[in-house]
Amino acid sequence: MSEALLPDPVSVTVRAPAKINVYLGVGKVRDDGFHPLETVYQAVSLYDDVTVTAAEEWAVTLLADGDHVDGSAVPDDDTNIVVRAGKALAAHHGIERAAEIEIRKTIPVAGGMAGGSADAAATLVALDRLWNLDTSDDDLLALAADLGSDVPFALVGGTATGTGRGEVVTPVDDAGTWWWVVVFSDEGLSTPSVYGAYDLLEGGDHDYRVRPAMLDTLRHPEDNPDGLPMFLYNDLEDAAFYLRPDLQTTAEAALECGAATTLLSGSGPTMLAMATDADHAREVAGRLAGRGYTRTAVAHGPVAGAHVVAYG
Ligand code: C5P
């Protein structure tokens, strides 16, 4: 059978997920300013879609999907992480190319859900397809790690442990479908400021390793259906609550609204309320809305990492 040759695409759209850290253990700050981590990432069903189109000059357009997305905080010039991703990919292959990059954003900006990292991962995959580069997975992961600690995970998706500064990603079997009410915040919170508060308050002098029993619970949720909530943990939570006491109030409200437990997402300020299933998540979100927390989304995980959704 002969194969028809497809023309090169004019545009490619890639969808990349937000991440949460169902476990985030943080050690003592390293000489390079980063903190050693042991984390368990989970990709959840909030997505940014990135569309790349061949162009002479780099350009970025942002479409904000939802009133929890503050597009004004996202640069539209070469400092945007998506342009840095595109330039890094071109340099890796020794080619001179540019592209127009449109980001349709649902993941909150500076929310602790790695939205910028998702956009960078999506851009790497989209430009690889647009330019027909066939970059190996290992090379894409290395380019991703240079762009930011959370970018490799956005490529891989699912559930995975992260070590190093978060960039060394190892997939974890996760047989569950876990439901979350994502409670957005009106303002962003800068990641370095939360790590700075962590250094002052706690310093990281403790055992921050992931408990093997947590990974067993993800692998075999049927053996321990109530197990995950008791393992959820984030070392940055006290630091984020110190900088933003309103987040602790949000956590208390979510518990009063019936959440199984609550957790800061990454370095915040997004808060997560865990639910037992989709209906329970919608109930908790409804009750939170009654208490004035109207900027929420119901999401589930794990979901796939960056993947092509359309060729134009
Ligand atoms: O790697 P990324 O660009 O996402 O990191 C943003 C900032 O977050 C870093 O400059 C650093 O202040 C802080 N960070 C850290 N330790 C990590 C990851 C991030 O201190 N493991």
Distance 269 CA to ligand 1 centre (A): 15
Which residue among 49, 150, 174, 235 is the active-site one? 150
87 is an active site residue = no
Q: Best mutation site among 26, 35, 79 for ligand 1, i.e. most ligand atoms within 8 A of its Cβ?
A: 35
**Whole-angstrom Cα distance, residue 236 to residue 196?**
10
Mean pLDDT within 129-157: 98
pLDDT given at position 212: 94
Q: What is the band of 68 on the pLDDT scale with cuts at 50, 70, 90?
A: confident
Mean pLDDT within 46-66: 95
Question: What sign for the dihedral angle of Cα 54, 59, 64, 70?
Answer: positive
Distance 192 CA to ligand 1 centre (A): 6
Q: What is the band of 225 on the pLDDT scale with cuts at 50, 70, 90?
A: low
Mean pLDDT within 10-16: 97
Q: Which residues line ligand 1 (CB under 6 A)?
A: 33-35, 37, 148-150, 165-166, 191-192, 195
Considering only CA atoms, which of 111, 305, 85 is closest in space to residue 194? 111
Q: Is the pLDDT of residue 2 over 70?
A: no
The model's pLDDT over 199-221, given as tens digits with 9 standing for 90+, comes to 999 888 999 999 999 999 999 99
**Whole-angstrom Cα distance, residue 96 to residue 198?**
42
Distance 113 CA to ligand 1 centre (A): 13
Q: Of the ranges 63-72, 122-131, 164-173, which one carries the lowest mean pLDDT score?
A: 63-72
Helix (H, G, I), strand (E, B) or coil at 238: helix
Distance 156 CA to ligand 1 centre (A): 19
Q: Which atom of ligand 1 is nearest to the CA of 166?
A: 21
The pairing of strands 98-105 and 59-64 is: parallel
Provide the percentage of residues in the chain whose pLDDT is more than 70.
98
Q: Is the pLDDT of residue 4 over 80?
A: no
Q: Is the pLDDT of residue 26 over 90?
A: yes
238 is an active site residue = no
Helix (H, G, I), strand (E, B) or coil at 71: helix
Domains of the chain as residue ranges with CATH: 3-171+303-311 (3.30.230.10), 178-301 (3.30.70.890)
pTM: 0.96
User: Which parts of 98-243 fold into alpha helices (H)?
Assistant: 115-130, 137-147, 151-156, 191-201, 212-219, 227-231, 237-243
Q: What is the band of 100 on the pLDDT scale with cuts at 50, 70, 90?
A: very high
Mean pLDDT within 225-243: 93
